[in-house]
Amino acid sequence: MLYIVGLGLADERDITVKGLEAVKSSERVYLESYTSILMVDKERLEEFYGKEVIIAYRETVESFSDEILKDADKVNVSFLVVGDPYGATTHTDLVIRAHELGVPVKTIHNASIMNAIGATGLQLYTFGQTISMVFFTDSWRPDSFYDRVKENSAIGLHTLCLLDIKVREQSIENMMRNRLIYEPPRFMTVNEAVEQLLEVEEKRQEGAYTENTLAVGVSRIGSDDQVIKAGTLRQLLTVDFGKPLHSLVLVGRRLHELEAEILRENAVDREGLDLVLLRDYGIGKQ
């Protein structure tokens, strides 16, 4: 059996009982390490699981899946994914390859940012399309996400923005020279995401959002030191959200009074937030 096991959001204890049983029954255990990270290292996982954990980099999964699936029709193999296996990132390619080889697959789900973002107080029913934001470079500043935000905004829905991580990435020069030298890990912050959002709005000028748009920045959701801060995009530019991982929500106009109350509790500036709620959402005292 190939088990695809969601690990949850924070540390080694977030795995489900069913997931832990699968891991303990497996001859080999792989940890997918390029779409997200836990807040603990693999040694903590190994101690808790009682199993060696093999790091699976992007090239391992995409180019050497047969290595992961070797003998999985005879023994159990676990493939661990931070969050939920089919949350922010799917691994259907590995599932398809397993089916081609006659390997049975069982998925064990867990919490991911896609549902844990409800910790902001915003109702999951009123979220629209999720977008991914990548690091801008001098020569590459993609803005295709803007159209999705604009569509969400037009019908008043919230937008969850997933922020880029760079793990085991090569520079263009090292790739061209075929040198296996990797750049230090990078994790996009809420502040960087806001800067890029405002840059794209300045270029597009189609009104999907402005610097006065209400937003919620979060970091380390699901951990004991998670941070949730609500304010305008301009206000969030200077908030220190601390260590990775960060995410951002653009608040839609279908905001309910109960959602607004939770935003007040997490406000960067309570008085300023009340003014925004009254001005843009009609929530509050006239």
Which residue ranges are tagged as binding site for S-adenosyl-L-methionine? 9, 84, 87, 112-113, 163, 246
Residue with token string 């259907």 = 92
Which residue ranges are tagged as binding site? 9, 84, 87, 112-113, 163, 246
Own/partner long-range contacts of 59-66 (Cβ < 8 Å, ≥24 apart) = 60/30, 61/32, 61/34, 61/91, 61/93, 61/94, 62/93, 65/93, 65/94, 65/97, 66/97, 66/101
Separation of alpha carbons 160 and 180, rounded Å:
34
Separation of alpha carbons 5 and 27, rounded Å:
14
* Those residues with Cβ within 8 angstroms of residue 79's Cβ, 6 or more apart along the chain or in another chain: 2, 3, 4, 5, 30, 32, 56, 68, 91, 94
